[in-house]
Amino acid sequence: MKRLITTTLVILLFLGGLASAGSTGSEKIKKSTPSTANECFEGVSRAMFSFNQALDTAVFEPVAKGYRVLPMVIRNGSSNMMGNISNLLTIPNNILQGDLAGAGNTVARLAINTTVGILGFFDPAEKMGFPSKGKEDYGQTLGVWGAQTGCYFVLPVLGPTTVRDFAGTVISLWGDPWYNMTTADDPMIADGMFKESDYYVTKGTDAVDFRAKNIESFDSLEKNSIDLYASIKSLYLQNRNKKINNSETFVETQDESDWEEIDTK
């Protein structure tokens, strides 16, 4: 699987280079900005977007609505636990971005919430002066290092991404501690601490929790967008730029209330 994804990334980078090299005159592609990105294969992306919309309608939205029936304490606890696990990925990215203070804060949150907070179900670290400063991933780190966005495209199930963010996903196959702790060749599995399915269970729970928080936001966006594909693309790119710059607001005129909890997992 790692080899397949790595090969796919190389192909995407190659196609992106061809698209940029072959554009002249009226076909000239605009340079990527914090809120825009080249569309190298928009037709395929729109087809994947339609597939994801159908999958969401048939599966994810109904599951999310069922999840919202659970007591709030369960939902908050689940969200806290997923956030606690994400700290494992945030810490190395804090360090790689040169944010040592942020890394120290994240380490403290992980230690406190895993122990006192009962595996992260509660968030006592917040009350102890270690607030959440947001998740960090390798796509953000590449952006901090100056890597360009690259082509924007949509993946089946996983949704919108860019060449830079997809490269970050590939790096996570080696640099995400939680992923590596739950893979079959990790010695912790042999000791019975983790199962390979644990990674996918946590990712699935995180996705359902995210979808449940944003049912109204997605419905409003779908209802008020002339072109939902373009709206999602704009919001995705603005949100990624916001995270890379650790900004509190969007850089364009898109109403942030439409985004609310919406976040890239």
Q: What is the pLDDT of residue 58?
A: 96
Question: 192: pLDDT confidence band, cut at 50, 70 and 90?
Answer: low
What is residue 34's three-state secondary structure?
Answer: coil
* Residue 31 phi, psi dihedral angles, 5° rounding: -65, 145
Q: What is the pLDDT of residue 251?
A: 43
Q: Share the mean pLDDT of the chain.
A: 82
Q: How long, in residues, is the chain?
A: 265
Listed as own residue / partner, the contacts of 239-248 with beta carbons closer than 8 Å and 24 or more positions apart are: 239/263, 239/264, 240/139, 240/140, 240/143, 240/149, 240/162, 240/165, 240/264, 241/34, 241/35, 241/143, 243/134, 243/135, 243/136, 243/140, 244/140, 244/143, 244/144, 245/34, 246/134
What pLDDT digit, counting tens, does each position of 40-92 carry?
889 999 999 999 999 999 999 999 999 999 999 999 999 999 999 999 999 99
Question: 189: pLDDT confidence band, cut at 50, 70 and 90?
Answer: low
Element (H, E) at 100: helix 100-115
Question: 262: pLDDT confidence band, cut at 50, 70 and 90?
Answer: low
Could you give the CA distance from residue 72 to residue 148 in angstroms, rounded to a whole number?
40
Q: What percent of the chain has pLDDT over 90?
A: 68
Cβ neighbours of residue 16 closer than 8 Å, sequence gap 6 or more? 38, 40, 150, 151, 163
Q: What is the pLDDT of residue 211?
A: 94
Q: What is the pLDDT of residue 187?
A: 59
Q: What is the pLDDT of residue 28?
A: 35
Q: What is the pLDDT of residue 37?
A: 79
Tell me what the mean pLDDT of segment 230-255 comes to. 78
Question: 181: pLDDT confidence band, cut at 50, 70 and 90?
Answer: confident
Could you give the CA distance from residue 155 to residue 161 in angstroms, rounded to a whole number?
7
Question: 242: pLDDT confidence band, cut at 50, 70 and 90?
Answer: very high
* Residue 82 phi, psi dihedral angles, 5° rounding: -65, -40
Q: What is the pLDDT of residue 204?
A: 93
Tokens of 161: 């991404």
pLDDT surpassing 70 at residue 212: yes
Q: What is the pLDDT of residue 105?
A: 97
pLDDT surpassing 90 at residue 23: no
Question: Nearest Cα to 49, choosing from 169, 229, 241, 245?
Answer: 229
Question: 190: pLDDT confidence band, cut at 50, 70 and 90?
Answer: low
Could you give the CA distance from residue 77 to residue 117 in angstroms, rounded to a whole number?
10
Question: Nearest Cα to 177, choosing from 121, 106, 101?
Answer: 106
